[in-house]
Amino acid sequence: MTEQLETAEFTDTLQFRLGRKIADGGMGSVYEATISGSEGFEKIVALKTIREKFTGDRDFVELFIGEAKLVANLVHQNIVQIYKLGKWGKAFYIAMEYVNGVNLQQFMNRHLELGIKVPVELGVFILSRICRGLEYAHSKKDAFGNSLSVVHRDVSPKNLIISAEGEVKITDFGIAKARNLMKDQEGQVLMGKAQYMSPEQAQYLPTDRRSDIFSLGLVSYELLTGEPVFGSTEDTTIILDNVARKIIPEPRNLNPDVPEPVQKILMKALERSLDKRYQDAGKMGYDLEYFMYHKGYGPTIVTLEKYMRNLFSDLYQSPMKETYPSVKPLPTADGDGSITAKDD
């Protein structure tokens, strides 16, 4: 068999058993699923699906496929990994890393519920890990050494995850752009969540890595002050006007615990001028890490894990599957809550 594997292609099948619904959106859903293999092998993954009514929308399907192709090559501890792009019936799905945790929006909401601020050093640690993931994605090259020019274009709290183990990960590259890998409608339609857009996105202008840095600046500001920079209104017109014109108050006006060096980092990330903004996420991450560690000690993933245990004790219940009720699985050809997918 070893000799056969070295010299020939082979076909295998994957069996997915669907569990609870993790997330539900207008375009699709994400399920917890278990992959079954030979000799009792099992692995929990997340299964991202497209709603049936969008399977005929070629533009949307191409974005979905483009995300899978792009992220399959982004292998980094601060980016959610993708394992497989598959199809059953007319519907595509993406099998990806399952992260037992919460998104940053849920993390911030819990602090609002408790009436407390996110500890500054812990918030800075979270942001520094996001910088690491973005810098890796932004710097990614193809097999020939050419830059892929990846831009996420949707850096927002719901697309940033903190795991129960204290790891921080970027997810949902669904509207990212990358040379030759993603269908791009830049300049034609708004890409991203208005509340976390860069000025160039809001004006339908071309984006590059610095657009992601501005968006991360908005996330950083909200994480450390508890207040979104451009308000909480759902009126897109007002938000876009704020993105273009609103004077951004210094973070210390809202949270005096934010040190001057951190405020300086945030305000540089939020420069409307591209030339004055951080030019890459690596430099922003370096400045954040210097603030944390220049005295020799600072937070780690262990620190964040311990903090998460206090905030979200339900994440640590065992066994994990009993923490949440199961949901009715998607209808499948097998009719028993399982999907059989053939590897091509």
Pick from 190, 191, 209, 123: nearest CA to 160: 123
Most confidently predicted of 24-38, 65-79, 299-313: 299-313
In the sheet that holds 28-36, the strands lie side by side as: 82-88, 91-97, 42-50, 28-36, 13-24, 338-342
User: Are 260 and 211 contacting, i.e. CB atoms less than 8 angstroms apart?
Assistant: no
pLDDT tens column, 232-263: 777 888 888 899 889 999 999 999 999 999 99
Q: What is the pLDDT of residue 261?
A: 97
Give Cβ neighbours of residue 6 (< 8 Å, ≥ 6 apart).
none
CA distance 276 to 215: 15
CA distance 19 to 223: 32
Q: If phi over 0 gives left and psi between -120 and 50 gives alpha, with beta otherwise, what is residue 297?
A: beta
| Mean pLDDT over the full length of the chain | 84
| Residue 117 in tokens | 């601020």
What is the length of the chain? 344
In the sheet that holds 168-170, the strands lie side by side as: 101-103, 160-163, 168-170
In the annotation, is 280 catalytic? no
Give Cβ neighbours of residue 38 (< 8 Å, ≥ 6 apart).
none
Pick from 104, 248, 217, 268: nearest CA to 170: 104
DSSP character at residue 146: -
Cross-strand bridge partners of residue 160? 170
Q: What fold does the segment set 101-311 form as a domain?
A: Transferase(Phosphotransferase); domain 1 (1.10.510)
pLDDT tens column, 3-38: 555 666 777 777 888 899 988 776 788 999 998 888
Q: What is the pLDDT of residue 174?
A: 67
Q: What is the pLDDT of residue 185?
A: 52
User: Are 155 and 161 contacting, i.e. CB atoms less than 8 angstroms apart?
Assistant: no
R_g of the chain computed on alpha carbons? 21
Q: What is the pLDDT of residue 4?
A: 59
DSSP character at residue 243: H
| Residue 74 in tokens | 């982004």
Give Cβ neighbours of residue 56 (< 8 Å, ≥ 6 apart).
none
Cross-strand bridge partners of residue 84? 95
Three-state SS for 62?
helix
- φ/ψ (deg, to 5) at 119: -55, 130
CA 243 to chain centre: 22
Confidence of residue 344 (pLDDT cuts 50, 70, 90): very low
* H or E, element range at 43: strand 42-50
| Residue 191 in tokens | 């890409």
Three-state SS for 47?
strand
User: Are 208 and 147 contacting, i.e. CB atoms less than 8 angstroms apart?
Assistant: no
| Residue 276 in tokens | 């004055």
Domain boundaries in the chain?
Answer: 2-98+319-342, 101-311
Q: What is the pLDDT of residue 220?
A: 98
Evaluate if residue 296 carries a pLDDT over 70. Answer: yes
Give Cβ neighbours of residue 109 (< 8 Å, ≥ 6 apart).
none
Give Cβ neighbours of residue 149 (< 8 Å, ≥ 6 apart).
177, 178, 179, 208
Of the residues 154, 172, 212, 287, only one is catalytic, namely 154
CATH top-level class for 2-98+319-342? Answer: alpha beta
Evaluate if residue 50 carries a pLDDT over 90. Answer: no
**Terminal CA-to-CA distance of the chain, rounded, Å?**
19
